[in-house]
Structure 1
Amino acid sequence: MIYAYDDLLNDLKTRKNYFSIGQSVFSREIFAFVKGRGNPHSLIFGGIHARECVTADVVMRLYDNYDESLPAICFVPLVNPDGAMLVKYSLDGAEFSSREFLKRVNNNSTDFSKWKANGRAVDLNVNFDADFGKGESNVFYPAPENYVGERPFSEPETLAMKKLTEKFGFKAAMCLHTKGNLIYYGYKKLKCYKNYVKMIAAATGLPAVTSDGSAGGYKDWFLKNGFGFSITAELGDDCLFHPISRDYTAELAKILENTPKILAKIGEEIWMKSLCAAQSSSQNRRKLSTKSPSARSSS
């Protein structure tokens, strides 16, 4: 049982507070949900890699279980709907005009169970503007995985995530992937909030390791641009095979059951600190502007 775009559409029938943040290559909507009090300062998303679409089901489970009295979180379950449909339905999940191209890229195979890319054979998690094209595994031609695309944010899915992040100004973000049962944090030598990493590692029981060699991922872009705290959570034991069945959704979601409220607290805390810093800076500028010329010359 594979969770894909058709399953998400079915879930929408019994959900509320969702909206589209954009469309995929094949014009499928990319949906976001907001739950909690106030404006969301934190983001949880999944399904950016096609074969890891079980993470979309996990995000929906986290959304359903999140307490509305807590600070708001934005949930984006399925960033790559086209890729998920390819994994689930093979070429029947693609637009007719793209099927021959996709089959050729997939080594003339109709088995898309290991496909990671979107409907244009671009790996979305190397398409963000953070050392674009400098990852060790990056390739520069359409491929089932690791193709960076023509330029940063060349894909409508990554551009939608960029615009969503900038619109809300998220201060904390968690990207869900499979597999390996660990947490990746950090980007180069930029601030990575190790105290927050330790909090989430303790809550999940997952070891946290640095990913200084990564490039082009959402986490990398988020940290590079100074939005705040961001991690990647790899869920599921390495013995599992892609694509992981929905039968494991409850088990994977259980690992993260306390993480959303921690992430919401982190996002709100960083937002408050940035707000206080901005107010303090504004007050200092006003003080300087009101100083008399003689006062400025004598200081």
Structure 2
Amino acid sequence: MDVQVRKGDTLWYYSQLFNIPLRFIIDSNSGVNPSGLVVGQTIQIPGYQTEPYRISPGDSFWKIASDRRISIDSLALLNPGVNPSQLQIGQTILIPSRVTERIVNGNQEYDFTVLTNDLEGLLSLYPFMRVETIGNSVMGKDLVELQIGNGAKVVHWNGSFHANEWITSAVIMQFLNDYLLALTNKETIRGLDVNPFYDQITLSIVPMVDPDGVNLVLNGPPEGPFGEQAIQINNGNQDYSGWKANIRGVDLNNQYPAKWEVEQERKPKEPSPRDFPGYEPLTEPEAIAMAELAQARQFEKMLAFHTQGEVIYWGYEGLEPPQSLTIVNEFQRVSGYQPIRNVYSFAGYKDWFIQVYRRPGFTVELGQGVNPLPLSQFDEIYQETIGIFLASLYM
């Protein structure tokens, strides 16, 4: 919600007027000098939107404010050209409306278009969330990283490394919405006050690592050479539900130089709907972007969300730090998912992250069944995963 600065206004006053923590207003207006507001300047108020209100007989600013439990001055701020003593029946004014319901619905086929629309909606409501394009997919789609908070410790989540595991993006985005709601409304999630995390942690999220692959699974092959190549790789089969790879048939979670040669030896030798590790490590732009992001952000811990199995892989060649066991035991406690230290699988993002940084890294396998998991599991998966999201912040 935008407001125009009046003489004497301050960001602190806006925080009191709308009951929004001051740090969220400051961070929503990064180009503004908090101690030098200029009359007429536009300020964004996070966690609010405006709604039109038509004046009825007997209405006054006092009555409207009383009925809506808002401040009279908030009405004056949003309606600078309106004379409160000369309201006209049928006149339309703006009313500030606190956002208390999520706008993200994860329980749907969650392709790149849905993600993009949800991100636009969240950014308009919560402009303190920072967005950076960390690279582009094979087909040129933006690979987006979201950042929330100002803490020195960086916690990273990612989803949809594998195309037919797109439900992970939906789960992440719905929790992100709930987290933003809790921050701006000073609420808890499962009894936990999340506001301290904003100053303690920077949360880094890449909600969809493989947007081209996700769109292929959900919408079929695109027109043009990439679609033609996908049809050829899939041997003309119109069912893409088993497709894990990116649009040109490289499995992004087999792309990392952590015993990549083992995967090369035993996996497909050419582009395939799944498991082809590429002709070399780190050839795909999506995999490269994620490697560069880890280097740039220096994550304290990293969680890669996949499906399926209700297990959490947490080790790699004995290189994981001791605290990984403590963390994964808490993940198990809050979700019921079983920790597995080692598995005969290599070249994944978690493997490479542990090998390079010697920090806690986890592959969290959501749900049970055959990928892509049905949306009938979404609510159960979401409830199981909330505790893992929260524990990754407080552990």
Match of 1:292 in 2: none
Q: Which runs of 4+ in 1 moved over 6 A?
A: none
Give 1:120-269 correspondences, 5 Å limit. 120-135=248-263, 138-192=267-321, 193-238=324-369, 241-266=370-395
**Structure 2 letter corresponding to 1:181:** E
What is the CA-CA distance between 1:247 and the residue it aligns to? 4.7
Q: Which of 96, 114, 133 is the matching residue for 1:7? A: 114
- Kindly indicate whether the alpha-carbon contact (under 8 Å) linking 2:160 and 2:207 is maintained by their aligned counterparts in 1: yes
**Structure 2 letter corresponding to 1:98:** F
Give 1:275-294 correspondences, 5 Å limit. none
Give 1:10-89 correspondences, 5 Å limit. 10-16=117-123, 17=129, 18-66=131-179, 67-70=194-197, 71-89=201-219
- Mapped to 2, the partners of 1:52 and 1:45 lie a distance apart of 12
Q: CA RMSD in A?
A: 1.7
- Mapped to 2, the partners of 1:121 and 1:230 lie a distance apart of 26
Aligned to 1:44, the other structure's residue is in SS state strand
Aligned to 1:173, the other structure's residue is in SS state strand
**CA offset digits 1:107-155 (Å, max 9, x no partner):** 2112111100001100000001111131385222100000001211100
- Kindly indicate whether the alpha-carbon contact (under 8 Å) linking 1:2 and 1:245 is maintained by their aligned counterparts in 2: no
Q: Which of 116, 119, 128 is the matching residue for 2:247? A: 119
- Mapped to 1, the partners of 2:379 and 2:206 lie a distance apart of 18
- Kindly indicate whether the alpha-carbon contact (under 8 Å) linking 1:171 and 1:227 is maintained by their aligned counterparts in 2: no
Q: Which of 220, 236, 253 is the matching residue for 1:90? A: 220
- Kindly indicate whether the alpha-carbon contact (under 8 Å) linking 1:129 and 1:216 is maintained by their aligned counterparts in 2: yes
- Mapped to 1, the partners of 2:320 and 2:364 lie a distance apart of 18
- Pair 117,214 (structure 1): closer, same or farther in 2 beyond 3 Å: same
Paired-residue identity, %: 30
- Report which stretch shifted further, 190-199 or 218-227: 190-199
- Mapped to 2, the partners of 1:243 and 1:39 lie a distance apart of 36
What is the CA-CA distance between 1:256 and the residue it aligns to? 1.7
What is the CA-CA distance between 1:40 and the residue it aligns to? 5.0
TM-score (norm 1): 0.82
Match of 1:270 in 2: none
TM-score (norm 2): 0.63
- Mapped to 2, the partners of 1:215 and 1:73 lie a distance apart of 26
**CA offset digits 1:220-245 (Å, max 9, x no partner):** 0011112410111111122xx43234
Unaligned runs of 5+ in 2: 1-107, 124-128, 180-193
**Structure 1 letter corresponding to 2:122:** R
- Mapped to 2, the partners of 1:147 and 1:110 lie a distance apart of 20
Aligned to 1:125, the other structure's residue is in SS state helix
- Pair 39,96 (structure 1): closer, same or farther in 2 beyond 3 Å: farther
**CA offset digits 1:154-210 (Å, max 9, x no partner):** 000011101111111002011111111111121112234212221211121111112
- Which protein is bigger by CA-based radius of gyration? 2
Unaligned runs of 5+ in 1: 267-299
- Pair 237,137 (structure 1): closer, same or farther in 2 beyond 3 Å: farther
- Mapped to 2, the partners of 1:144 and 1:50 lie a distance apart of 10
- Pair 247,6 (structure 1): closer, same or farther in 2 beyond 3 Å: farther
